[in-house]
Structure 1
Amino acid sequence: MTAVLEIGGTHVTAAVVEPDGARVNRRAGRPLDPRGSAEDILGAVVRCAGELRAPAGLVWGVAVPGPFDHEKGIARFRGVGKFDDLYGIDVRSVLLDGVWPRPADVVFLNDAHAFLLGEWRAGAARGERRCAGITLGTGVGSAFIVDGEIRRDGPGVPPQGRVDLLKWAGVPLEDTVSRRAVLARYGDPDADVRDVAARARDGDRRARRVLDEALTALGAVLAPCLRDFRASALVVGGSMAQSWDLVRPSLRSGLGDTPVRVRRGLLGGDAALVGAAGYVSASRR
């Protein structure tokens, strides 16, 4: 078995993944305040991991969004609207010292990478040699895979494998496609993205236009990357993918004639957990 953590923008989930690497056995979860203190955030993560009562001596896999030094386990969040108080903290040492029963080691990977690895192992990307994935939530995460291995460079792969570093209309992509961008353009301080989506379904033209423009822009930015990478499939996850009836048509429109199958992830919240477990297994070979 493998013990894993997924640290999201508003939650943390701990789980044990079965030896086959494709089934989540048991899990624990806690909410996170992305604007909270480092003590509160890391305290919640450590308590969540401890609730799992995983055997001592396991190597834990941790899926966490960037900016983060995944090799060293050090947080680099700054100016991204979440986890700013963690900047410079050695999260790996915190987990090794705080989680009980004690892990033997902790390895980190980007949460979007974990998502696509999970979908490649047991979900919507299974059987695809070359595929890409995006996660739509507080921001835009991305991953590119060839035969089950993450690619961070090469034809079609943006710098560091990060679509969020690309621009649309001269500004960073996440100024157009992200939770904060959608809500800012919609202009209702009491609404969340799911409210905007619900209103779009109910005929709110402004809500529909805001979502359509954001997702069409995302497709237009992704199109040359996917063509150059020769991706056969694009798998979409994250909280916004729950509104698939709205997401897919606009994203497909932005992609134009790019020859890629657009699929919603099949594993839901299990994808990053399964992917993190697979990453641990690969790192120990």
Structure 2
Amino acid sequence: MTPALEIGGTHVGAAQVAFPGAEVSARTRLPLGPRDRAPEVLGAVVRCAAGLEAPDGAVWGVAVPGPFDYEKGVALFAGVGKFDDLYGVDVRAVLLDGVWPRPADLVFLNDAHAFTLGEWRAGATRGHRRCVGITLGTGIGSAFLADGELCREGPGVPPDGRIDLVTVAGRPLEDTVSRRALLARYGDPDADVRDLAVRARAGERRARLVLDEAFVALGGVLAPRLREFGASALVVGGAMSASWDLVGPALRTGLGATGVLLLRSALGEDAGLVGAAAYAAGRS
């Protein structure tokens, strides 16, 4: 059994994962408030991890969004709208001191990387030698995998494997596709992305247009990179993928005739935990 922890924008989750079948058990989960300060966030992370009752001396996998020093386990959040109070905190040291039985070590990886690795090990892209995963939430996360290895460079791979660093018409991609971009385009300060989805399904043309334009544009950005990378599948996760009836068709339109299989996450919230555990198992 390999213990895994995932720190997200709204919650922290933990589980034990058994390989080779990637069976997930003993899940624990705690909410994180949007305005929580460092003591509240770290307290929730430690309580969630400690509640797992992991084996003594285990190597943990920890999925966490960036900016983050994944080798050292130090938070570098600044100007990203969440977790800024954690800047400079040694998360590895906090967990080593706070979790009992004490872990032998903790290995950290990006949450989008964990999602994509989890889907490759036991989810939608299992059996695909080359695949790409994207997460749609506050922003866009991505990972390019070749035989289960993360690719940070090479044909079709954006800088450091990050599709959010690509530009559209000279502007960052997240100015077109992100929670912030969608709501700015829609123009209702009291709406959320969930509201846009509800209104689009109810027939509101404006809401549907905003969503269609964003995800068709995303498909258009991804299409040439998927071809160059030689991907046979693209898997999509994150909060916005819950509106797959709206996101999927627009993405397919943008992707065009790439021949790439477009898939929704098969593991859901377990994908990041499976990927983090697989990463830890490979490093232990």
The TM-score by the shorter chain falls in which range? over 0.9
Residue 2 of structure 1: aligned partner: 2
Does residue 1:185 correspond to 2:185, yes or no? yes
Secondary structure at the aligned position of 2:82 is classed as coil
Residue 129 of structure 1: aligned partner: 129
Residue 114 of structure 1: aligned partner: 114
Residue 212 of structure 1: aligned partner: 212
Structure 1, gaps ≥5 residues long? none
Residue 78 of structure 2: aligned partner: 78
Residue 43 of structure 1: aligned partner: 43
Contact 1:78 1:84 (C-alpha < 8 Å) held by counterparts? yes
Does residue 1:275 correspond to 2:275, yes or no? yes
What is the deviation of 1:196?
Answer: 1.1
Give the stretch that moved more between structures: 93-102 or 153-162: 93-102
Contact 2:59 2:281 (C-alpha < 8 Å) held by counterparts? no
Once residues 174 and 268 of structure 1 are traced to their aligned partners in structure 2, the CA distance between those partners, rounded to angstroms, is 23
Once residues 185 and 42 of structure 1 are traced to their aligned partners in structure 2, the CA distance between those partners, rounded to angstroms, is 35
Q: Find runs of 4+ consecutive structure 1 residues off by over 6 angstroms.
A: none
2:158 partner amino acid: P
Going from structure 1 to structure 2, the CA distance change for 1:170 and 1:153 (only over 3 Å counts) comes to: same
Residue 24 of structure 1: aligned partner: 24
Give the stretch that moved more between structures: 171-180 or 109-118: 171-180
Residue 224 of structure 1: aligned partner: 224
What is the deviation of 1:74?
Answer: 1.2
Mapping of residues 164-203 of structure 1, within 5 Å: 164-203=164-203
Identity of aligned residues (%): 72
1:66 partner amino acid: G
The number of aligned residues is 284
Going from structure 1 to structure 2, the CA distance change for 1:145 and 1:93 (only over 3 Å counts) comes to: same
1:153-201 deviation per Cα after TM superposition (whole angstroms, max 9, x unaligned): 1111111110111111221111221112212222333322122111110
Once residues 30 and 37 of structure 2 are traced to their aligned partners in structure 1, the CA distance between those partners, rounded to angstroms, is 16
1:5 partner amino acid: L
Contact 1:35 1:84 (C-alpha < 8 Å) held by counterparts? no
Contact 1:139 1:178 (C-alpha < 8 Å) held by counterparts? yes
Once residues 21 and 192 of structure 1 are traced to their aligned partners in structure 2, the CA distance between those partners, rounded to angstroms, is 38
Does residue 1:238 correspond to 2:244, yes or no? no
Secondary structure at the aligned position of 1:268 is classed as coil
Does residue 1:160 correspond to 2:156, yes or no? no
What is the deviation of 1:22?
Answer: 0.9
What is the deviation of 1:232?
Answer: 0.7
Secondary structure at the aligned position of 2:107 is classed as strand
Secondary structure at the aligned position of 2:236 is classed as strand
Contact 1:133 1:142 (C-alpha < 8 Å) held by counterparts? yes
Contact 1:120 1:127 (C-alpha < 8 Å) held by counterparts? yes
Once residues 148 and 163 of structure 1 are traced to their aligned partners in structure 2, the CA distance between those partners, rounded to angstroms, is 18
2:191 partner amino acid: A
Secondary structure at the aligned position of 1:4 is classed as strand
Q: CA RMSD in A?
A: 1.3
Structure 2, gaps ≥5 residues long? none
Once residues 40 and 186 of structure 1 are traced to their aligned partners in structure 2, the CA distance between those partners, rounded to angstroms, is 34
Once residues 69 and 178 of structure 2 are traced to their aligned partners in structure 1, the CA distance between those partners, rounded to angstroms, is 22
Going from structure 1 to structure 2, the CA distance change for 1:100 and 1:34 (only over 3 Å counts) comes to: farther
What is the deviation of 1:247?
Answer: 0.6
What is the deviation of 1:212?
Answer: 0.8
Q: TM-score, normalised by structure 1?
A: 0.96
1:45 partner amino acid: V
What is the deviation of 1:36?
Answer: 2.3
